[in-house]
Amino acid sequence: MATTADPTFTTALGRPTRLGVWRLRRLNILYVVTVALAVVFVFPMFWAVMSALKTPSEMYAFPPVVIPSSPRPYNFVEAFTDFPFARWYQNTLEVAILATLGTVLSSCLVAYGFARFNFRFKNLLFMLTLATMMLPSQVSLIPRYVLFHDLGWIDTLNPLIIPPWFGGSAFAIFLMRQFILTLPRELDEAALIDGASYPRILWDVLVPLCKPALATLAILTLIANWDSFLDPVVFLQSPAHFTVAIGIWYFKQQEFQVTPTDQLLMASAVTSMIPPILLFFAFQRYFVQGIVLTGLKE
């Protein structure tokens, strides 16, 4: 049997056999390939950070300047004073936090309903819910625009904040339902015998146990809202109401009208990358589990 410490690869004296040598060589090749790929993936981001710290002349120098001689953090200040980035960050935070709160709270209710109750059309409704994950969002975009127009919500943050309070998304419901299904039903039943109502059971018994799933969902939703582009670009119109993503797009369109400002554009792009990356590093475990959970068969 091929187990890790076995005579196929190591002689009695602890030296590698020929097969063992071959395996070591293969391991080295694997390391080289993996490191090379990691560099390929990370380098563009490294380059973005370096570019954000360059002077205009370093930006356009040939041969290219990799690391700026005197890094210029002032670029960030300049980007933030040339454009209302502070306002855009405030808007984005407002959207991301409120939309995430709505998604987490309402998807919890809905997931509890799907996981623990039997009612007519439950399976049909759940299949429908899953099916919506496969619909391109472009199809509902135009009528949603009309609806929000009639409600007077165009050019406000409402279209981005309010709909998530109605169940969040099919993805959120699916994630939470999968998690609740893994919790033993005896917990609910014991609480029920103790006289707890269903909302109490959800809030006092299940929600505390769902914390990992809730954290996962919150992080994924925050990042999705942070990155979101199509909905904001359609529903927001005046710069005062932009989110960061739309702000960078707006900045990019204004570019070169006065002076070359690529380093400032890079600085603003870099700042927009920071929050998702920080969230990722802070909650890496939840993050990976959450993505994996949705990809597994029920």
Which of 247, 254, 253, 237 has the alpha carbon at shortest distance from 268?
247
Nearest distance in Å: CB 49, other proteins = 10
Nearest distance in Å: CB 265, other proteins = 5
Nearer to other proteins, 13 or 290 (CB): 290
Q: What is the rounded distance in angstroms from the CA atom of residue 88 to the CA atom of residue 71?
A: 25
Beta bridge partners, 16, equal: 10
Contact string (CB under 8 A) for other proteins, positions 212-251, x = contact? -----------x--xx-xx--xx---------xxx-xx--
Point out which span in 78-86, 160-168, 178-186, 206-214 binds other proteins (CB under 8 A): 160-168
By CB under 8 A, the residues from 63 to 122 that bind other proteins are: 63-64, 106-107, 109-110, 112-114, 116-120, 122
Nearer to other proteins, 240 or 288 (CB): 288
Nearest distance in Å: CB 60, other proteins = 5
Nearer to other proteins, 13 or 150 (CB): 150
By CB under 8 A, the residues from 277 to 296 that bind other proteins are: 277, 280-281, 284, 288, 291-292, 294-296
CB-count burial class (<10 Å; 0-12, 13-18, 19+) for 186: exposed
Residue 57 near other proteins by CB under 8 A: no
Cα→Cα distances 216→176, 221, 285, 294, Å: 10, 9, 9, 11
Nearest distance in Å: CB 9, other proteins = 13
Nearer to other proteins, 210 or 265 (CB): 265
Beta bridge partners, 10, equal: 16
Residue 19 near other proteins by CB under 8 A: no
Size of the site for other proteins (CB under 8 A): 96
Residue 139 near other proteins by CB under 8 A: yes
Please pick, from the candidates 12, 13, 41, 257, the single residue that binds other proteins as defined by CB under 8 A: 41
Point out which span in 29-37, 73-81, 83-91, 179-187 binds other proteins (CB under 8 A): 29-37
By CB under 8 A, the residues from 161 to 200 that bind other proteins are: 163, 165-167, 173, 198
